[in-house]
Structures are given as C-alpha cells and as structure tokens.
Structure 1
C-alpha cells in the first residue's frame, strides 16, 4: 500500500518505454512524498555524464553534477532527474 501511494503521480517510474526528449524539459522532474520525515538523512545523486551546448560556440560542454540534499516533505524521483538532465543535451546555456 505504501509503495502504491509513493508511486502515485509518477509517470516515468516503471514505464515500459522511455521517451528521451532532447529539448529542455523542466516538466520532466517529478517528486514523491518522503515516507521518513521523522529523521534526517542525505540523498545523493552523481551525474558524471552531463552534456549541454555552449550558447556562443554551439560546441558540446561536458561536466559532472553532484547533488546532495536532506529531503523534507518531498523527494526527487531519480529517473525523472536523469530525464531532466538529458533534456539539456541540445540546450544552449551556461
């Protein structure tokens, strides 16, 4: 029951087929209710394959993104975070 409730409203998690959009898509980010608000803990994501386009030269830029946070009421769903980061692939920004 708790798992079903946690997955409610998540569209990427468990999808049989994933569509990778290559246009900037902040709407890809999804969150779910933190089931353990009674204590503090760290959530960490390491994203070693981040790519985007330089808005001046159009050349690809590469980087690693480290995200660490202590969740309060909501948490970021990891697959949706990956899809969000992929959406920068053809996006020109600093």
Structure 2
C-alpha cells in the first residue's frame, strides 16, 4: 500500500481545483427519446460570493428537466456548480446563468430551476425560473 502525500500549502493547483477549472457540461444521448420523463437534481452545496460584500452565499439548487435529445452527465454538473464557489455573482444572476448554460448544451423540452439561498442578515431568498421549449 502506498501512502498519498498530504498536500502542502506550497503546491499550486490541486487535482480537484483543476477538475473544476477544466469542467464543462457534458451530455450524452437520451436513452429514451420521444418518451417524456423528468430528471430531478438537487445540489445542496452551492456557494458563490456576494458581488457587493464578498461574503459567501450558500444555497441548494433544484433542477428538474425533461430531456429532448441529450441528457447532462451528473459529474459534469457537480464540477460546473462547484465552479461558482469563487465567483462574485448575485443570487438572481447565478440561477439565470446556470439555466442559460444548461439550455445551451442540453436543449431540454422543459427546464425548471430553483435557487434556495440560506438566510443572511435575516433575509431568505429563492429564485425560480420555469422554461418550456417553444414548439
């Protein structure tokens, strides 16, 4: 058995950070095209930074979509979402950007996203968007 060396603070980019930096939303063919079904994804560890204060924001992102020709790979979604952790972005813009990126790669029939942000300063906020592909 080989010991994995514990990373030191002098190392530049860790393998997890590199995976997050290099991520892209990857799709694969829908295994059941023509059959409408919903895919529900919960991402309970979303983080970003407030563009005004720099304080961290924490949220659970809920995504439900009805695939068209493509399905998005789950590990790719995880890495993509983790890419927000150091971004200065508002609640509203982060949820809209996630939706835009998802629609661009997957072109789903329907897409619903909800960002449920943890209270900060006694204020709780959710951002929700429903989309249906025009016919």
TM-score by length of structure 1 reads 0.72
| Aligned partner (choices 37, 40, 47) of residue 36 of structure 2 | 40
Q: Which has the higher helix share?
A: 2
Three-state SS of the structure 2 residue aligned to 1:63 is strand
Q: How many residues align?
A: 75
Partner residue in 1 for 2:57? 61
Please report how far the alpha carbon of residue 35 of structure 1 lies from its aligned counterpart in structure 2 after TM superposition.
1.4
Please report how far the alpha carbon of residue 40 of structure 1 lies from its aligned counterpart in structure 2 after TM superposition.
1.0
Please report how far the alpha carbon of residue 47 of structure 1 lies from its aligned counterpart in structure 2 after TM superposition.
0.7
Partner residue in 2 for 1:20? 16
Taking CA–CA contacts closer than 8 Å with sequence separation of 6 or more, which of the two structures ends up with the larger relative contact order?
Answer: 1
Name the CA distance, whole Å, in 2 between partners of 1:26 and 1:55: 23
| Aligned partner (choices 58, 67, 70) of residue 74 of structure 1 | 70
Which string of whole-angstrom CA distances, capped at 9 and with x for unpartnered residues, describes residues 18-41 of structure 1? x4338x859521111101113111
Structure 1 unaligned blocks of 5 or more: 1-18
- Residues 41 and 64 of structure 2 are in contact (CA less than 8 Å); yes or no, is this contact kept in structure 1? yes
Partner residue in 1 for 2:47? 51
The structure with the largest alpha-carbon Rg is: 2
Partner residue in 1 for 2:79? 83
Q: Which has the higher strand share?
A: 2
Three-state SS of the structure 2 residue aligned to 1:49 is strand
- Structure 1 residue runs of 4+, over 4 Å off? 24-27
Please provide the CA RMSD for this pair. 2.0
| Aligned partner (choices 5, 19, 26) of residue 30 of structure 1 | 26
